[in-house]
């Protein structure tokens, strides 16, 4: 809880809402850049790594938000982030599906680290293959969890700064 008091003045200063909104937007951009950096790190070793962008800030009612999303290779990122169900894969051209037998994933579920990996081993030819699906990596969930404390402290600091500007002093209770 925060309480405020005006020292040496009987009236509080009017709050500059435009400046407050601008400061909140700057904080959102700062947080968005940090989130984007985490997601870029998680996909650093991918051949078709997505490029991310900060979208927003968005103002809906009294909520100000920012979104970090892939702007390239969205489908691949979504498959890996959210996972896929087991499914059949058939050749698009020709009679046989030709692929390297072994595969080492470059990422692991619930981790933002990225390592070397990929296809290896001899090539095999099949009429189709039963793909086991992709276990969801949950990059966006891990990033949200990792940044929660930062967001809370940044919002608290912003609120305190603006209370001080408005009323003179602020004391945390």
In the predicted structure, residue 13 carries a pLDDT above the cut 80: no
pLDDT digits (tens, 9 = 90+) for 111-150: 999 999 999 999 999 999 999 999 999 999 999 999 999 9
What letter does residue 12 receive in the DSSP assignment?
A: P
| Those residues with Cβ within 8 angstroms of residue 63's Cβ, 6 or more apart along the chain or in another chain | none
pLDDT of 48: 92
Q: Token pair for residue 4?
A: 């405020």
Q: Please report whether residue 6 resides in a domain.
A: no
CA dihedral 158, 66, 106, 146 (to 10 degrees): 30
Residue 147 belongs to domain spanning: 14-165
The answer to whether 60 and 76 have CB atoms below 8 angstroms apart is no
Q: Please report whether residue 90 resides in a domain.
A: yes
pLDDT digits (tens, 9 = 90+) for 33-55: 999 999 999 999 999 999 999 99
In the predicted structure, residue 10 carries a pLDDT above the cut 90: no
pLDDT band per the 50, 70, 90 thresholds, residue 167? confident
- CA–CA gap between residue 150 and residue 156 (Å, rounded): 10
User: If you average pLDDT over every residue of the chain, what do you get?
Assistant: 88
Q: Please report whether residue 131 resides in a domain.
A: yes
Total count of domains within the chain: 1
Q: Please report whether residue 111 resides in a domain.
A: yes
| Those residues with Cβ within 8 angstroms of residue 66's Cβ, 6 or more apart along the chain or in another chain | 28, 29, 31, 32, 54, 55, 56, 57, 58
The answer to whether 144 and 92 have CB atoms below 8 angstroms apart is no
- CA–CA gap between residue 48 and residue 134 (Å, rounded): 17
Q: Please report whether residue 8 resides in a domain.
A: no
In the predicted structure, residue 1 carries a pLDDT above the cut 50: no
For residue 39, count CB atoms less than 10 angstroms from its CB and return exposed for 0-12, middle for 13-18, buried for 19 or more. buried
In the predicted structure, residue 4 carries a pLDDT above the cut 70: no
pLDDT digits (tens, 9 = 90+) for 71-106: 999 999 999 999 999 999 999 999 999 999 999 999
pLDDT of 65: 87
Over residues 155-170, the mean pLDDT reads: 77
Q: Please report whether residue 161 resides in a domain.
A: yes
Q: Please report whether residue 18 resides in a domain.
A: yes
Q: Please report whether residue 171 resides in a domain.
A: no
pLDDT digits (tens, 9 = 90+) for 138-149: 999 999 999 999
Residue 142 — φ and ψ, nearest 5°? -60, -40
pLDDT of 162: 79
């Amino acid at each position: 809880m925060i309480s405020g008091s005006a020292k040496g003045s009987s009236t509080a200063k009017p709050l500059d809402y435009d400046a407050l909104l601008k400061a909140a937007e700057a904080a959102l951009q700062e947080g968005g850049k940090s989130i984007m950096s985490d997601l870029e790190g998680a996909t650093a070793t991918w051949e078709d790594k997505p490029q991310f962008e900060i979208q927003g800030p968005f103002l809906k009612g009294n909520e100000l938000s920012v979104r970090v999303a892939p702007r390239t290779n969205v489908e691949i990122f979504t498959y890996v982030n959210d996972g896929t169900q087991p499914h059949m894969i058939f050749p698009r051209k020709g009679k046989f599906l030709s692929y390297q037998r072994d595969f080492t994933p470059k990422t692991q579920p619930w981790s933002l680290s990225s390592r070397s990996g990929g296809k290896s081993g001899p090539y095999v030819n099949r009429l189709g293959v039963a793909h086991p699906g992709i276990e969801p990596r949950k990059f966006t969930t891990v990033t949200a969890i990792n940044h929660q404390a930062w967001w809370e402290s940044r919002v608290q600091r912003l609120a305190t700064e603006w209370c001080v500007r408005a009323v003179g002093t602020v004391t945390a209770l």
